[in-house]
Chains A and B, each alone.
Chain A
C-alpha cells in the first residue's frame, strides 16, 4: 500500500531559525512528489513538483529536495508569514494521475 508520512506533525520556530520538514514515502513507481502550503481557513496552494532523486526546487525562503525515499522542505530564515501547514503528496504509476497526500506539518514561526 502506498504511504506518505510527514514529520514532525507540528513545528515551532523563532523568526530566522532555519529548519526542515520531512516527507517520507513508500510507493511503487513514483511519478512525482508535490508540496503544497495551506493557510488556516483556505485551500492548499501549490508550491513545487519534484520528479526524480537529486532534483531541487527553490522559491523565496523555501527549498525542496528529493531522494529515493523522502523529500525535505528546507525553510531558511523563516518569517511569521511562513506560518502554515505544509502538505506533501505523491503520484504513483497506474494511479490515473491522482495524488496521495500526507497529513501535513503545521509550522508556526514566532516573531
Chain B
C-alpha cells in the first residue's frame, strides 16, 4: 500500500458542485500539503498544515478550503467548483525533523475535471 493515499484518483464534476479530495498517510509525518499541477506552470502550493491545529494558506488558496481531521488525514474542498480548477492535485507530507532537506513525499495524484 502507498504511504500517501489520495482519493478519488479521478473525478469529473460540473460547475458549481462541491468536491472533496482526501489524503491519508501512514508515514507518521506531522506536515501535510496540497499542491496543484498544471501544464507549463509546475506545482503550486494551495494549503499546508504543520500539525492538526495549524492550517496555512499557500500561493493559490482562493476557492479552496482544507481540513486536518487527524495527523494522518488532510482533505481539500472546492466549495463551488469552476472549470479553471481542472488540474492534477497532489497531497504531500514531510517530517519536521527532516524538513530542512526539502524532501516531500507525494501521493499519486487526483485528477479533477470540472465541466
Stretch at the interface among A14-22, A63-71, A74-82, A95-103: A95-103
**From A46, A96, A101, contact of B43 by CB (8 A):** A101
A-side interface size class:
20 to 34
Complex Cα gap A98–B92 (Å): 12
List the interface of chain A (C-beta within 8 A of B): 4, 9, 32, 34, 41-46, 49, 87, 89, 91, 96-99, 101-104
Complex Cα gap A46–B4 (Å): 14
A44 pairs with B43, CB closer than 8 A: yes
B100 interface residue (CB < 8 Å to A): yes
B108 pairs with A42, CB closer than 8 A: yes
B102 pairs with A91, CB closer than 8 A: yes
**Given contact pairs A97-B100, A99-B45, a sample of 13 additional A-B residue pairs in the complex whose CB atoms are under 8 Å apart:** A32-B100, A43-B108, A44-B43, A49-B102, A87-B42, A89-B43, A97-B99, A98-B48, A98-B58, A101-B44, A102-B42, A103-B42, A104-B42
